[in-house]
Amino acid sequence: MKKITALSALSAAAMAIPAQAEVAPTDKIFSYRYTSYQESDAPRERTFTPELGRYQIEVQQFGYQTPLDESWYLASELQFETMSGASPTQTYKDANGKSALTMSGASIEEQRIDIKVAPKKYFAHGTAGGLVALSKENDYESIALGLDGTLEIFDKHTTLIGSLSVSNDKLSPTDARISASRTEADGRKKRSFSVYEGINQIIDKYSSFQAGISYTQLTGYLSDPYKFEDRRPGSRDQVTFSVQHKQFSNVLDGAALHSSYRYYYDDWGIESHTLDVKWAQSFNLGKTRLIATPLVRYYTQTKANFYSLEQNPADDLLNSSDYRLSSYGAITIGFNSELKFKQWALHLDWQQYTSREIMALFGRDSDETPALVNFSTFTAGIDYKF
């Protein structure tokens, strides 16, 4: 036995073990989600055409995440969507000055498939990731590429976040010959370029704050070929400022209040505000942990400059009666739940979205928007970690 030196030698050696920083996840996770999205019928008294049933979408999502080695992690996702139902084609003011909605006649039945692959590399002081996403429908193809990174500074209390993405979409409307707008759209492209810069700051042991700014530029064919009299500009510049706050508390078995606000504007004249609040409450039930999260979101936007209910606008004028470009407000209420047991997690989520012209906070418009949609979503899912 050597003498005396043991304590000091071991202490020095223990001190010399470098701490690992950003930790690459080591779990493999398989996840499945089933989501049913159901839009409410269009209002009978305000709809001109007989068809009232709107979109119904069923989504099946398979996710697989796995470490590739010590520092690389791969997330992948495969998604199938089946959509059916009718969609609004136009809203216009009739001769009596009352708004009328026309819906696409035949029920559209479509499938969509999405594939996403996102590798991520974990470094001592941050991460770097990539994203490839492909999406295909019978009338639409999209490819998106992204890069993202984080950098931890100031003893890991501050994280700088950045991301960059581009996408290239191709339109091929069904029955392209039945209307001029569909013919014109056939084979046209839509491109996007998006950049986000953000900063996340741990304030104290109970709270963190994140702020970010993003800029997106869309170019190409941005009109909706399935709508009547829909002629939009060939580019759209969008800017978003967002702030997020997370506050943890010791209520019951632990809770977290997430609140976020987002301001958006674009050069089409749309300005919007989104306020999100959710409360994630944990309950420890023996070996099971339940996280119940009620949430509420308020959204309001002003209309685009070229939004109008003109039934037959001049062909050289920009025009759209798409309800998404009108002035309105919307409230979402929801309840998410997650039940964790050993390696399993069960998810049951429900959300109800309601939108109305009169719920708009700013720039409320006298034009009615009967096409504004209400919908509910229900999601059931399961995760398995191994």
Partner 1 sequence: MQQACIKAQAEVQRIEKKYSRYLDSSLLQTINKNAGIKSTTIDAETAGLLNYADLCYQQSDGNFDITSGILRRVWNFKSNSLPDEKTIQQLLPLINWYSVQWDQNTIFLPEKNMEIDFGGFGKEYAADRAAEIFQSLGIQHGLVDLGGDIRIIGDKTDKSGWDIGIRNPSQPESAISHITLHQGAMATSGNYERFMQVKHQHYCHILKANTGWPVNHWASVTILAPQCLVAGSLATLTMLAEQKGEKWIREQEIPFLAIDLKGLQLSNF
Query: How many whole angstroms separate alpha carbon 349 and alpha carbon 294?
Result: 10
Please list every residue from 118 through 137 that binds partner 1, using CB under 8 A. none
| Comparison of 2 and 177: residue with beta carbon closer to partner 1 | 2
Contacts of 90 (CB under 8 A, 6+ apart): 101, 102, 227, 228, 229, 311, 321
On whether the CB atoms of residues 113 and 135 are closer than 8 A, the answer is yes
Residues 52-91 close enough to bind partner 1 by CB under 8 A = 67, 70
Q: Does 154 bind partner 1 (CB under 8 A)?
A: no
Residues numbered 266-295 forming contacts with partner 1, rule: CB under 8 A: 282
Residue from 19, 95, 314, 358 that binds partner 1 (CB under 8 A)?
19
Q: Please, are residues 263 and 352 in contact by the beta-carbon 8 Å criterion?
A: no
Nearer to partner 1 (CB atom), residue 293 or residue 369 = 293
Does residue 342 touch partner 1 according to CB under 8 A? Answer: no
Q: Which is nearer to partner 1, 208 or 214 (CB)?
A: 208
- At 39 the three-state DSSP class reads strand
91 vs 48: CA distance, rounded Å: 9
Site pattern 161..200 for partner 1 (x: CB under 8 A)? ----------------------------------------
Question: Which residue type does 4 have?
Answer: I
- Which window, 4-12, 104-112, 144-152, 305-313, contacts partner 1 (CB under 8 A)? 4-12
95 bridge partner residues? none
Does position 45 bind partner 1 by CB under 8 A? no
* Distance from C-alpha of 168 to C-alpha of 214, rounded to nearest angstrom: 19
Q: Which two tokens stand for residue 116?
A: 């996403």
Size, binding site for partner 1 by CB under 8 A:
35
User: Which one of 45, 204, 315, 316 is in contact with partner 1 (CB under 8 A)?
Assistant: 204
- Near partner 1 by CB under 8 A: residue from 132, 144, 199, 202: 202
Q: Is there binding between residue 95 and partner 1 (CB under 8 A)? A: no
Binding piece for partner 1, criterion CB under 8 A, among 133-141, 204-212, 265-273, 292-300: 204-212
> In the bound complex, what is the minimum distance in angstroms from residue 253's beta carbon to partner 1?
10
Closest by Cα among 384, 385, 378, 386 to 34 = 378
> Of residues 42, 57, 218, 256, which one binds partner 1 by CB under 8 A?
256
User: Using CB under 8 A, which of 16, 95, 106, 358 touches partner 1?
Assistant: 16
Choose among 227, 283, 230: nearest CA to 102.
227
DSSP, residue by residue, 184-210: HHTT-EEEEEEEEEEEEEEEETTEEEE
Give burial (CB, 10 Å; 0-12/13-18/19+) of 177. Answer: exposed
d(CA 366, CA 103): 22
Candidate list 44, 177, 205, 342; residue touching partner 1; CB under 8 A: 205
Compute CA distances 81 → 35, 62, 232, whole Å: 9, 12, 27
Judged by CB under 8 A, does residue 209 bind partner 1? Answer: no
Q: Are 192 and 166 in contact (CB under 8 A)?
A: yes
Is the separation of the CB atoms in 210 and 244 below 8 Å? yes
Could you tell me which stretch among 19-27, 72-80, 313-321, 351-359 binds partner 1 (CB under 8 A)?
19-27
φ/ψ of 180, rounded to 5, equals -65, -40
Applying CB under 8 A, the span of 16-24, 84-92, 159-167, 302-310 interacting with partner 1 comes to: 16-24
Interacting residue with partner 1 among 156, 187, 239, 362 (CB under 8 A): 156
Q: According to DSSP H, which parts of 290-353 are helical?
A: none
Using the minimum distance from each CB to partner 1, give the nearer residue, 17 or 95: 17
Whether the CB-CB separation of 338 and 367 falls below 8 Å is answered with no
Binding mask 234-253 for partner 1 (x = CB under 8 A): ------------x-x-x---
Residue closer to partner 1 (CB basis): 183 or 259? 259
Residues that bind partner 1 in the complex, under the rule CB under 8 A: 1-7, 9-11, 13-20, 23, 26, 67, 70, 155-156, 202, 204-206, 208, 246, 248, 250, 254, 256, 282
